[in-house]
Amino acid sequence: MLEPLMDYLIGGLYYILGNDTVWGPWIRGICGLIAMGIILVFAMFAVWLERKYAGDIQSRIGPNRVGGSHGELQLIADAIKLFTKEDLKPDKVDTPLWAGAPILMFGSALLMLVAIPFGAFVFYGRDYPLAVTQFDVSILYLEAVSAIGIVGIFMAGWGSNNKFSVIAAFRNMARMIGYEVPLGLTIVSVAIMAHSLNIVDIVSAQSHIWYVIVAPLGFVIFMVSLIADLGRIPFDQNEAEEELIAGWATEYSGMRFGLGYFAEYIHMVLGACITVILFFGGWNLPGILVNLHPIFGLLPFAWFVFKVVLVLMFIIMVRWALPRIRIDQVTTLGWKVLLPLALLNLAWTSVIGVIW
């Protein structure tokens, strides 16, 4: 009784979303706006998690005043502070570059959002991914639009007309050029194993075994490159506050700074999502979450979010547990260690891809 009804409903919805009808793009656009709202809330959660977790690691309490003893509403207070601050524009900045940079960084983070499936509904053995849009080369798309963020940081650094900002942008580019290559190679290795560049296919290819078990080396390279890509300690040479004041963010105040700051956290959340999708089987739990009654249809979504939070906590832990390394050490690690290892991993996964 229930099965044909659900089939009819969901099938109809997917027909509208997947086809070029007049309403399809509008509905997808609304879904995209909803996803934007959700990811902003999730990014705020990530900021709160980071502050509490950092407090735990450093044996202090962390935010504990606003909204209960755990400081749950601290981020609302911070956001109000950012919104109401004076919007200072330094005298000799290159205005279009300086003003456009946070927009570009935020836009790059939001562009990544549309291709990521945040879990799936599972009804009678069929997966219905919760993605705003799906296309054949979605993992390539994610890589491509995340690279736009580099241009944003460059514009911030150059447009600020400030030597600290320029040094920060320069370091950022040197690091990004070095780490995009191993990151891309590990993504290619996963695509080889899954025989597809589509994220949904990559997830369903892991329904028997996760790729972190098949290619642990690739996972390590991916994780290091991802943390470098996010520009977090030990790779935050572009913000090194002891040397460069605040890096590219030196001349920004109020919500302009807030946009860049939030873009970094959205990038972190989405990076954790990509890690889970590529190496931890997305919403799959091999052998268990395959043939569910529709009542438990949202269980894979919860499982996905749980894994994303675990990966987020790992990234945060790395930030507060390790010291910052020097910029020449960063580039050396990228080009002389990670790139050869990534090529080795590519060879290994090619063999796996041929065998399977």
List residues binding another protein (CB under 8 A): 20, 22, 94, 97, 135-137, 140-141, 143-145, 147-148, 150-151, 154-155, 158, 166, 169-170, 173-174, 176-177, 180
Which residue carries 């950022």 as its tokens?
172
Identity of the residue, 46 or 200, whose beta carbon is nearer to another protein in the bound complex: 200
Between 170 and 348, name the residue whose CB sits nearer to another protein.
Answer: 170
Residue (154 or 304) nearer to another protein, CB: 154
**Closer residue to another protein, CB minimum distance, 165 or 345:** 165
Give the whole-angstrom CA distance, residue 40 versus residue 34. Answer: 10
Q: How far is the CB of 118 from another protein (least distance, A)?
A: 21
Residue 151 or 318 having the CB closest to another protein? 151
- State which residue, 141 or 252, has the beta carbon closest to another protein: 141
Q: Closer to another protein at the Cβ: 53 or 170? A: 170
Q: How far is the CB of 12 from another protein (least distance, A)?
A: 21
CB of 22 to another protein, least distance (A): 6
Closest approach, Cβ 289 to another protein, in A, equals 31
> Please, what is the end-to-end C-alpha distance for the chain in angstroms?
39
CB 306 to another protein: min, Å: 31
Are the beta carbons of 39 and 261 closer than 8 angstroms? no
Q: How far is the CB of 230 from another protein (least distance, A)?
A: 16
- To another protein, the closest distance from the beta carbon of 32 in angstroms equals 16
Name the residue among 238, 347, 309 with its Cα closest to residue 50: 309
8 Å CB contact between 260 and 251: no
How far is it, in rounded angstroms, from Cα 223 to Cα 216? Answer: 11
Phi, psi of 151 (to 5 degrees): -60, -35
Query: In the complex, what is the shortest distance from the CB of residue 208 to another protein, in angstroms, rounded to a whole number?
Result: 29
Nearer to another protein, 184 or 254 (CB): 184
